[in-house]
Structure 1
Amino acid sequence: MPISKPHSSLAADNKGSCSNLAVYLEKENEELDKIISKSKSSSESLEIERRKQGFFTSTETNVSTIEVISSIDNNKKKLAANDAKYFAPTISFSANELNQIAFEATGKRDLQSVWDLNLIELEKYNTLIREYGRKVMDNYALNFNRQDKGISSGSDLLYFGKIEHFRKFKGTDQEVINGTEVSGAYKKGLQSHIHIIVSRKDKSQRLKLSPTCNEKNTSRKIGTNTYQVGFDRVNWINLNERSFDRNFNYKRQKREKFENQNILKNGTPLEKQELARRIENTESNKSINQLNAQNLNVRHSQSITRRR
């Protein structure tokens, strides 16, 4: 499933300026600058330059880092010094999901890297990922249950997203521990993911919105007014999974579903055993049906051949 993590911060302290985080998210563009400095022609330099990623919002693309910092840092009306000023959700994908996005964009499968995409294909691929990121932030907004206060889509939030296409091995990765890879080496295959910087306050600066609060979906009452608060992180992940499958025509296997992955990781031994049995039966029945369909096609072809 698309892994949607509502981090409180990423490589920074979210009680102050977001500048450290925003600058950190320029790291891939800086790597491309190094490649440009070694390029042998102006056309090659331009081709690499066009692979850079700017920040995006619900309506804009290629927003500058300076604008991101200024917008987030100034959207903090009535927040105390020790209040969180922003959050940093990340959206990651499985290899199968990235292959499906690439197929929807280009008709190609089993790509080894975004370097396999020409600029036109890369733009289509980025557009699909960007639009999905916007849908994730629509789900994020709805998941606060504050529609009565004007929070009904990502456009009511102040956020900036950034697509990244590469990941590097870290010292804590099993491959590095086993000695099969070295820390700092690039991971193979498609590795695209999205980083988000979203303000604690909505655009109007009237509401505080926290995806890391402990309340999932609580009804509160002040006087005669009843209202909902909280953020259900599990519900957000499920919403994002359904949005992905719908947007990208993805036929998700039972084993891939978040609710099943959650049980296999966190369930009781009995729950894990029962779910594993159901998944195995489903996969076995699917294999039998596929084999029967293949045999039927073969017999049909043989029948046509004999008649001829």
Structure 2
Amino acid sequence: MYLTITPQKLGNTYGQSVTDFVNYLDKENLGNSTDQCESFFNHQSDQIPSNRVIEKIDANTAKLKKTEPRFYSITVNPSARELAFIKNNPEALKDYTRKLMEHYAGCFNRDNPITIRDLKYYARVEHQRHYKGFDREVRENAPYRSQIIRLENQIRMVKRGELSADLKQMKKKIALLENQAPHKINGQMIRQGMLKPGYQSHIHIVVSRRDASNSFSLSPGSKYKASQVLLHGKLIKRGFDRDRFYQGAETTFDRLFDYPRNYVETYRSRKTFVKDQSKYFAQIMRLPSVQKQAAFKILEQTGLRVPDLRIPKTKIQLAVKTFNKLKRAMDLGVDSKAMEY
């Protein structure tokens, strides 16, 4: 389970309205008939049109400065294993989203506890993902793609009479490069923009910066985890516990669906990996046999070549060097503009 919380982009990309963001989310509905289009949903309704979302979020901005986000975007990305466990059921994902937002409300540190009734949010399930430039498959295919593009440009020059070359040989070279590329789908070389195969369902949530009554701000981007501050002579609580939110996101999923989460799928393990790879690997080696085998299988699915399960403890440090490749495979970096794990 991977989640990101991102503030509204200000400046040239997005204005003071949620319109551009909602239009971006509408992209998957393009070309679909009305009955095939995904609608927004929240705790009260399953069929909320886009214009209603725009109207409600844009109207809920009292006392916000022009430089303050009007809304936050939460993206929830269940793993392929999690999606397979719930059979990629969109209704199950909606149920999970509602439970997740109840948990989100509880992660705010306030004198009066925040509940789901205090939130103004709208969510949508999407089912497709496209390969992007930073995906491992695209990056590893890139050298082959670059040579193909150069040859295709030369072929056009030959056809225009600007270059003399053997077109047949150039086309054979392109076919050879496409065959040599390490990553393909149905024989086609993976490139940026192609649809990803398998279950790709994920959830986009837009949540207002202001509470549902438009009376006070609820910022998950607060730099304070849980603290008190003296304001006008009175101690008040502030902050948002992101660690609690991220860890609770997987706990909520597990309880709702009885999901048997492996150690390497946990938020706790990913934090351990970032801080201490030796400890991370040692924890895997201490798992019961069945869970350990499952852990290595999950890690292999990231594209990592994992060491032998029978590796002696004296060689753990050597194995850890191999595991450092997970930094790239698991995309563990924390973006300064998006709080994620």
TM range (shorter): 0.7 to 0.9
The 10-residue stretch of structure 1 (6-15 or 80-89) with the greater mean CA deviation from structure 2: 6-15
Kept after mapping to 2: 8 A contact 1:8/1:88:
yes
Aligned residues: 245
CA distance in 1, matches of 2:191, 2:5: 29
Structure 2 stretches lacking a partner, 5+ long: 142-182, 184-189, 294-341
What does 1:1-308 align with in structure 2 at a 5 Å threshold? 2-9=1-8, 13=13, 16-33=16-33, 49-102=34-87, 125-146=89-110, 148-149=111-112, 151-153=114-116, 155-179=117-141, 180=183, 181-222=190-231, 225-264=234-273, 266-267=274-275, 271-284=276-289
Aligned to 2:336: none
Q: 1:131 to 1:51 in 2, by over 3 A?
A: same
Kept after mapping to 2: 8 A contact 1:92/1:194:
yes
Q: Normalised by the size of structure 1, how large is the TM-score?
A: 0.74
Kept after mapping to 2: 8 A contact 1:54/1:64:
yes
CA distance in 2, matches of 1:286, 1:128: 26
CA distance in 1, matches of 2:288, 2:15: 48
Q: 1:286 to 1:77 in 2, by over 3 A?
A: closer
Kept after mapping to 1: 8 A contact 2:17/2:58:
yes
CA distance in 1, matches of 2:72, 2:62: 16
Kept after mapping to 2: 8 A contact 1:15/1:83:
no
Kept after mapping to 2: 8 A contact 1:14/1:87:
no
**SS of aligned partner of 1:89:** strand
Greater share of residues in helix: 1
Match for 2:4: what amino acid? K
Give the superposition deviation at 1:13.
5.0
CA distance in 2, matches of 1:170, 1:243: 30
Give the superposition deviation at 1:51.
3.4
Provide the aligned C-alpha RMSD in A.
2.1
CA distance in 1, matches of 2:62, 2:218: 13
Structure 1 stretches lacking a partner, 5+ long: 34-48, 103-113, 115-124, 289-308
CA distance in 2, matches of 1:26, 1:254: 36
Q: Normalised by the size of structure 2, how large is the TM-score?
A: 0.67
